[in-house]
Amino acid sequence: MVSKQPSQIKRLIDLLARLPGLGPKSATRLTLYFLSRDESEVRDLAQALVAVKEGIKFCSTCHNYAERDPCPICSSLERDFCQICVVETPADLFIVESSGLYRGLYHVLGGALSPLSGIGPDDLHIEDLIDRIDLAASFNKPIKEIVLATGSSAEAESTCVYLCERLKDKDLIVTRLARGLPSGVDLEYVDGKTLKQALEFRRLA
Amino acid sequence: MVSKQPSQIKRLIDLLARLPGLGPKSATRLTLYFLSRDESEVRDLAQALVAVKEGIKFCSTCHNYAERDPCPICSSLERDFCQICVVETPADLFIVESSGLYRGLYHVLGGALSPLSGIGPDDLHIEDLIDRIDLAASFNKPIKEIVLATGSSAEAESTCVYLCERLKDKDLIVTRLARGLPSGVDLEYVDGKTLKQALEFRRLA
């Protein structure tokens, strides 16, 4: 079939196979699925794809994807204006937000410091964060806590260290997500680094 | 985020999550991926989706998806006109064809007989198959072998039985894909039905 495939089918399989989590097999399965569905259904998806690129901008305050600026979270009156949760990417924001456990504001850095990849402080939305904090203070709505919700990669660690340094003069507390055992695992399956962190972060039972 | 998500993002996640093999999580990951890519890249995919529906028709001979009618396989001079491989769906045709092991023609039934789902012989391209065989004979290019490459579901089985019955008066042989052990498995992992079939289909070593 490879050689005899209609060009449109080849092209769609090729494009789908490049998507994260998909390969040639799943791309082929999806393509055959689309061929078997109503044209309107496939058009809807095509339009949704274009719409997501046309309609979505960035919030100039938190730098998350948003339909309008400021985004619904930054402009919401139900959120706790005293907390800013700092995340690396909009994807991380999605994860924290969908947990439903956090009611404060966010700030998307747009990545993590990585000297190797040539990503320095100026490449991230760090100055914006400082400005946000100062602006909030000047409006007498001071930020009381910055929650560093970054990953546990080396880059994320150094980003945290850098942020703590930049924020140390501010009149607020800086917290970090706890490191420790993920839920529902036996100790025997926990790697040494995680166990070390779990011990460091141990607290009174 | 669920409640605060921009509508375009919600919609795309929703549509992607309905696709086979995808769920809410992978749909969200894909949506964030699209957001992070160039608009042109996403447009290409959207256009490929529409093109596959607009450009692809069915071959009136073998009922496979095709750009033109008859399809490249039916109109190819390199294929063996004496063999017709009968498959349930274009997806099955893809699989047989990509194996590169078969050089004859195909016939897509469009499903399998299923009294429970109310799918009878008239709902499948069975008469067309008979006509193809008769037509080929009348043009003095007789079909010598019909290869039944259907699955091993109950519906597939009864479809095979029905086809054998319909084809028994024709001057050709009807073969079926062998049932047996899949490659690279230990006997201990083989279910009873497969083992039974492997014994039935056993041959001299």
**Model ipTM value:** 0.74
Please give the Cα distance from A64 to A52 (Å, whole number): 14
Q: What is the pTM of this model?
A: 0.73
| Contact assessment for residue B46 and residue A47, using Cβ atoms and an 8 Å cutoff | yes
Number of domains in chain A: 2
pLDDT of B74 > 60? The answer is yes
Best interface-test mutation with A: which of B78, B85, B94, B96 has the largest number of A CBs within 10 A? Answer: B94
Domain that holds residue A82: 73-204
Residue A205: CB atoms within 10 A of its CB come to: 3
Q: Is residue A46 part of a domain?
A: yes
**Pair A179, A108 in one domain:** yes
pLDDT of A3 > 70? The answer is no
Q: Is residue A193 part of a domain?
A: yes
Of A7-21, B38-52, B167-181, give the lowest mean pLDDT range: B167-181
Q: Is residue B93 part of a domain?
A: yes
Q: Which residues of chain A lie closer than 8 angstroms to B30, CB-CB?
A: 19-21
Mean residue pLDDT across chain A = 90
Entry field: residues in chain A: 205
Decide which of A138 and A198 is more confident.
A138
**Pair A51, A77 in one domain:** no
Q: Facing residues of A175 across strands? A: A147
Q: Is residue A185 part of a domain?
A: yes
pLDDT of residue A194: 83
- Domain at A25, CATH number: 1.10.8.420
**Residue B171, CA distances (Å) to A14, A63, B162 in order:** 43, 72, 17
Query: What are the tens digits of pLDDT across the range A16-56?
Result: 999 999 999 999 999 999 998 999 999 999 999 999 999 89
Q: Is residue B17 part of a domain?
A: yes
Q: Is residue A137 part of a domain?
A: yes
**CB pair distance less than 8 Å for B76 and A16:** no
**CB pair distance less than 8 Å for B34 and A43:** no
Q: Is residue B63 part of a domain?
A: no
Q: Which of A16, A29, A56 sits opposite B8 (nearest CB)?
A: A56
End-to-end alpha-carbon separation of chain A, Å?
Answer: 63
Q: Is residue B62 part of a domain?
A: no
pLDDT of A187 > 50? The answer is yes
**Residue B83, CA distances (Å) to B105, B106, B136 in order:** 6, 8, 11
Q: Which residues of chain A lie closer than 8 angstroms to B9, CB-CB?
A: 52, 56, 65
Q: Which of B32, B49, B71 sits opposite A90 (nearest CB)?
A: B32
Please give the Cα distance from B65 to B35 (Å, whole number): 32
Tokens, residue B103: 């050089």
**Pair B32, B121 in one domain:** no
Q: Does B8 touch chain A (CB under 8 A)?
A: yes
Query: What are the tens digits of pLDDT across the range A95-124?
Result: 888 888 899 999 999 999 998 999 999 999
pLDDT of B142 > 50? The answer is yes
Of A6-20, A30-44, B2-16, give the lowest mean pLDDT range: B2-16
**CB pair distance less than 8 Å for A53 and B45:** no
Chain B's closest residue to A48, CA to CA, is B12
Confidence band (pLDDT; 50, 70, 90) for B104? very high
